[in-house]
């Protein structure tokens, strides 16, 4: 079945209440005090940015691919079951640094087609990152200030492409050995600083990682009451069984509702409308970029 991205005034109003739920405990009934949680997801910060509209939320299938495809390919892929696309828009750790298609005009065009956009920022990686091709972009000796700087860069680069406040920005942190206490401490300091900076500019910080590394690490931090965590969780478990709330690394009430993406398959090849792409497959119920 085809799904189009729908962002109506009703959805935006409802999203403010639902996205604002505290990640640190099972959901309760709605209440005014809970609406600060979008800006401070553990409920330990100040109020949300005055006048902030909730991000538009997309529920359905999404794909991400290293290079932003040509607009013509995106048009042809309207024949696919996907209606949102992950775009690696910035960050020193991107595998595909050269993005010839990616521009403000491209984003405007695909948005007009009905695509939701998931902006992915691949910045510095954990000091104990496992991938060999990420060793040269590891977090340095001052993870907090470095996270702040890269969070600021994420916001600037998003703005240059026309993605405004209330857009989610997803920090990509590849698999790392979070059981290493020193490494875990540095990584968490970086992630929290990045999230604080992104949030301070009115954007919504999200986090992508393997379910068994970064996601498990942040869930552990959530249980311990750590503040300044990302507001949205994008977890990778390549089991070909898309399931937003059955993930073993996360209790169902954490990052709930409208705050989850499951990347359930990776490096698969699909063809629609005569165009072939290598993609990762995702199921999502989470915010997409605000363009205009």
- Is there a contact between 234 and 250 (Cβ–Cβ < 8 Å)? no
- Distance, in Å, from the CA atom of 37 to the CA atom of 279, rounded to the nearest integer, reads 33
> Residue ranges of the chain with pLDDT lower than 70?
1-55
CATH number, domain 9-287, options 3.40.50.10610, 3.20.20.80, 3.30.420.40, 3.40.50.1100: 3.20.20.80
Position 66 scores a pLDDT of 98
Separation of alpha carbons 186 and 232, rounded Å:
21
Distance CA 274, CA 135 (A): 37
Maximum CA pair distance of the chain?
51
* Rounded CA Rg of the chain: 18
Whole-number pLDDT of residue 292: 74
CA distance linking residue 8 with residue 5, whole number of Å:
10
pLDDT recorded at residue 126:
98
Express each pLDDT in 66-102 by its tens digit.
999 999 999 999 999 999 999 999 999 999 999 999 9
What CA–CA distance (Å, rounded) separates 292 from 254? 31
Tokens of 154: 């994420």
3-state secondary structure of 227: coil
For 157-182, the pLDDT digits (tens) are 999 999 999 999 999 999 999 999 99
Q: Are 137 and 182 in contact (CB under 8 A)?
A: no
Sign of CA dihedral 283, 193, 202, 13: positive
Q: Identify whether 34 is preceded by a cis peptide bond (ω within 30 of 0).
A: no
Q: Where along the chain do its domains lie?
A: 9-287
Residue 51 near residue 82 (C-beta atoms within 8 A): no
Cβ contact 198:150 at 8 Å: no
Nearest partner of 226 among 28, 46, 45, 49, judged by Cα = 45
């Amino acid at each position: 079945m085809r799904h189009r991205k729908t962002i109506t005034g009703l959805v935006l109003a409802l999203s403010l209440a639902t996205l604002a739920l505290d990640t640190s405990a099972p959901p309760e009934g709605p209440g005014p005090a809970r609406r600060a949680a979008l800006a401070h997801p553990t409920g330990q910060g100040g109020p949300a940015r005055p006048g902030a509209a909730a991000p538009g939320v997309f529920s359905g299938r999404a794909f991400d691919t290293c290079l932003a495809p040509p607009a013509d390919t995106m048009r042809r892929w309207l024949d696919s079951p996907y209606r949102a696309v992950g775009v690696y828009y910035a960050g020193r750790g991107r595998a595909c640094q050269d993005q010839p298609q990616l521009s403000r005009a491209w984003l405007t065009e695909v948005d007009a087609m009905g695509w939701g956009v998931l902006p992915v920022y691949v910045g510095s990686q954990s000091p104990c990152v496992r991938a060999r091709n990420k060793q040269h972009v590891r977090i340095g000796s001052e993870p907090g200030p470095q996270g702040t700087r890269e969070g600021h860069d994420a916001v600037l680069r998003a703005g240059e492409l026309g993605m405004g406040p209330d857009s989610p920005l997803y920090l990509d942190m590849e698999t790392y050995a979070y059981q290493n206490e020193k490494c875990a401490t540095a990584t968490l300091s970086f992630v929290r600083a990045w999230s604080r900076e992104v949030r301070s500019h009115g954007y919504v910080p999200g986090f992508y990682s393997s379910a068994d590394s970064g996601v498990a690490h942040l869930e552990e931090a959530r249980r311990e009451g750590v503040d300044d965590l990302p507001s949205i969780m994008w977890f990778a478990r390549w089991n070909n069984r898309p399931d937003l709330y059955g993930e073993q690394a996360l209790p169902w009430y954490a990052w709930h509702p409208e705050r989850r993406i499951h990347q359930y398959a990776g490096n698969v090849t699909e063809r629609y409308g005569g165009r072939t792409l290598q993609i990762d497959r995702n199921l999502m119920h989470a915010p997409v970029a605000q363009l205009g």
